[in-house]
Structure 1
Amino acid sequence: MNALQNQAAVRPQSRSAAGLRPPGRQARILAEMMRVGWRPLLDHFPSRLMTPAMMRTAFATGALLVRPDPRARVQRFRATTRGSRSTAPRTITGEWLRPRDPGEGAVLYLHGGGYSFCSPRTHRVITGRLAATAGLRVLVPRYRLAPEHPYPAAFDDAMDSYRWLLDQGVPAGRIVIAGDSSGGHLAAAVAIEACRSSLPAPAGVVLFSPWVDLSCEHLAEIDRSRRDPFISPVIAQRCGLQYAGGHDWSGPGLSLLNCDGLTLPPFLIQLGGVEALREEIEQFAEVLAKVGTPCELQVWEGQIHVFQAFNRLLPAAREAMDNAARFIRTSVKTPQETTT
């Protein structure tokens, strides 16, 4: 991240608290509950017990308590990919979120969870609302998780999912890639790789609190000066190491900063104002702006990491997701549709 410090003169199109809904009482209460309840649990729970299996169970159980958006129907997904030069044909699974009257196109959504936990099921509160408000089908693959499957397993699964959509006749100009946290990292990596390879670029990319620097080199220092209510630097670093599996942090699919000379699609990036990832996300947006990529960066002050997951509670989260849906609808429209 040190190489980014000289790019302060480059600024993406940004919106801060002045143009976005203020946090409100619910957001302040949620952040404080996370700060005094969730973070101490992560920081002081014995590391030998804080296993990926335990985290997967905790998030899966929590997801059962949240009713997803009833306007989107869940449909299981299973397909065989054609593979690529580096991968053999493989079966990918996951789920579709389908609105009542879907438009032409699709959103490829890659869920977060530190590359080690969570699933399409845990993220229905986001993907269901996104499908309903954007009016498009949302494909959420069940990519392989670390540490059992380190890099490039998740990256290959996500690339295969994108190729599968193209093979099904969905034009790249009708596909938006989206994701949150580690899924945001993965979504950006897929978009960058598509532009680096012979694949057509997607119409746009939506990132909710993307995890940019998997090495977490500066996360502990930032957390000491501004304690994140949700993210534990120790667990984040452990997840990053498990996923990288000894690969060079600067390698394709791991670093998001090696995009010089690429023509990338427009990005919408949303982040919470109190999260420790704020600096690295802002710096990534500056890198995108430097290479000429249209990028709107929305900083939602007072909000926590991936606050969009609380859209049934927080008005700001609903507004943020409405903004994302609007960006998606605009991205997949043809010029003729945009002018009508």
Structure 2
Amino acid sequence: MKILVTGAAGFIGYHVAKKLLEAGHEVVGLDNINDYYSPQLKYDRLKELGIQQNAAAEFLSPCSSQSWSAFKFVRMQLEDRVALPTLFKEENFDVVCHLAAQAGVRYSLENPESYIDSNIVGFLNILECCRHHEIEHLVYASSSSVYGLNKEVPFKVSDSVDHPISLYAASKKSNELMAHTYSHLFNIPTTGLRFFTVYGPWGRPDMALFLFTDAIIKGEPIQVFNHGKMERDFTYIDDIVNGITKIVEGEIASRHESNQLYKVYNIGNNNSVKLMDFIEAIENSVGKKAEKKLMPIQPGDVIRTWADVSELIRDYKYRPNTEVKTGVDKFVRWFKEYYKV
């Protein structure tokens, strides 16, 4: 298939693009390469896909030494209502895997406009392009953040998501509502994936695993929010990517017949891990104890997440299963190699 992967220079997008290329698909990657975190990390991910940064850092070209002939990269804003439809018209995609978004819960308190621009306006533009260019299937990233103040665990897809506690979470719930509308009105098969705390090599520098590993190696204190009384369903990147690709490659003809064009799934490890146990796993992998600075809970944070993945198992015979210790070890090895520690 010919697949558009948005957010291809991002953490999850990079891994998904690579997996799809390895499976023999033709992939067009799209990203605006913003400065929410180090653009150099994004350029380095793209280099792994055979795209290199030129001297001006504005345009990217194939890297002759390791180029994927089936990969093309386009630098573009999702909000561009002229360039995006032109790209769809020129490339004639079969499937869209929409992973681009303004990420981060706490950053949404400081820069709310970017979440509306990228996550709402950008998503509308993607939906419109899918509508007008006969896209077979739209797979898009949602988030466990939509569960907000829900108390019952594990979180089920059937649970109410009416109480988001960050603009980021609200934008992701909005995406699900918008996708439902377009599936209903225009017969577009859409699948939303609620990711649960994804971690692993090439991860984002604003995520806890990255921040903790960096600080512990440097001998600096780590900030432990809610005095460590938090739990997360940590999900290793390979598990997320394998789930995404199963859905992207999955047969969807039956969804027209059953009138189930709109679907949402949890993708998580189906296991809630205490934050202090997660920190201990990092300490063991690094070989050094952390100096912990206990802090109050931050606005927008939830205390516990835990994914019920029964619907994913039922429909795709798939469930994530990487243990935290294994995933953390792989991340720390990558971190030390990438930063030459």
Same fold by TM-score greater than 0.5: no
Comparing both chains, which one has the higher relative contact order based on Cα–Cα distances under 8 Å and sequence gaps of 6 or more?
A: 1
TM (norm. structure 2) is 0.33
TM (norm. structure 1) is 0.33
